[in-house]
């Protein structure tokens, strides 16, 4: 039987979702906890990788298990033994053809920025001192929409089979507290893609480039032409749709 796990995690304690040989990961931590509770080796498959330090809300994973158990009880016990940085919100049985990664049709990320010094925001928001024109940044966002080769935003040395992504939503919004939140949705994301996009949009917002620079990057740009990779602690994988 196949089970879907919905969880959230604070990425600051992990090298990302995917298992690594030399650092703790969310996948390994969850996998070990499930194996302990179910009394058998369990392989957990996630909806996708997140970089070191990146956070997630509504992350989805799946695992197969022949043993009979009450999902609500296992959910309760998992939360009791998992570290404080990981919280399980739901475990449900799903059809055997459900796949946490390949059944997903759309993913959403959010990036948080504050531009006034605030020690209470530092854990999950980037303190960016630049003055930025949000209208220019949103003008540039419209050029991200559609299907493009996004290799200019992909971390150098990545091994993806393709760099083609379809972006369906991208926009900056100001919160009531005066902070900025960037939301982007696409069918798939490349490694480091969102952080490079944010860095590029920040450059546009502070006048380093015109909004049309996004089109130039997508047409013929390389990773070195795009903006800096902004810090991962302010990035959240916020939604996955199936």
Q: What is the pLDDT along the chain (242 residues), one digit of tens a residue?
A: 999 999 999 999 999 999 998 899 999 999 999 999 999 999 999 999 999 999 999 999 999 999 889 999 999 999 999 999 999 999 999 999 999 999 999 999 999 999 999 999 999 999 999 999 999 999 999 999 999 999 999 998 777 789 999 999 999 999 988 899 999 999 999 999 999 999 999 999 999 999 999 999 999 999 999 999 999 999 999 999 99
Specify the pLDDT at position 83. Answer: 97
Token pair 């940085």: residue: 85
Q: Are 4 and 101 in contact (CB under 8 A)?
A: no
**This model's pTM is above 0.85:** yes
For residue 228, what are its two tokens? 């800096």
Which of 89, 45, 93, 46 lies closest to 67 in space, CA to CA? 93
From residue 20, give the alpha-carbon distance in Å to each of 49, 91, 102: 12, 25, 22
Selecting among 10, 51, 149, 225, the annotated active-site residue is 51
Which of 200, 204, 85, 206 lies closest to 153 in space, CA to CA? 200
As to burial, measured by CB atoms within 10 angstroms (0-12 exposed, 13-18 middle, 19+ buried), residue 12 is middle
Specify the pLDDT at position 158. Answer: 74
Instruction: Check if 225 is active-site.
Output: no
Q: How far apart are CA 44 and CA 139, in angstroms?
A: 40
In angstroms, the first-to-last Cα distance of the chain is: 19
As to burial, measured by CB atoms within 10 angstroms (0-12 exposed, 13-18 middle, 19+ buried), residue 124 is middle
């Amino acid at each position: 039987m196949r089970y879907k796990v919905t969880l959230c995690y604070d990425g600051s304690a992990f090298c990302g979702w995917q298992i690594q040989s030399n650092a703790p990961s969310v996948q390994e931590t969850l996998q070990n906890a499930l194996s302990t509770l179910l009394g058998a080796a369990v392989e957990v498959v996630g909806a996708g990788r997140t970089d070191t330090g990146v956070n997630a809300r509504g992350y989805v994973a799946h695992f197969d298990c022949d043993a009979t158990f009450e999902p609500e009880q296992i959910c309760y016990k998992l939360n009791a033994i998992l570290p404080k940085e990981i919280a399980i919100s739901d475990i449900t049985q799903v059809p055997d053809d459900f796949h946490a990664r390949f059944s997903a049709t759309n993913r959403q990320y959010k990036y948080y920025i504050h531009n006034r010094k605030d020690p209470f925001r530092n854990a999950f928001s980037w303190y960016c001192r630049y003055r930025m024109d949000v209208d220019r940044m949103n003008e540039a966002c419209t050029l991200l929409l559609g299907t493009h080769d996004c290799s200019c935003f992909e971390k150098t040395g990545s091994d993806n089979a393709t760099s083609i992504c379809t972006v369906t939503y991208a926009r900056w919004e100001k919160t009531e507290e005066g902070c900025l939140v960037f939301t982007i949705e696409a069918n798939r994301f490349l490694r480091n893609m969102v952080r490079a996009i944010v860095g590029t949009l920040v450059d546009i917002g502070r006048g380093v480039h015109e909004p049309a620079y996004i089109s130039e990057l997508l047409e013929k740009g390389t990773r070195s032409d795009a903006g800096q990779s902004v810090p991962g602690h302010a990035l959240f994988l916020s939604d996955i749709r199936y």
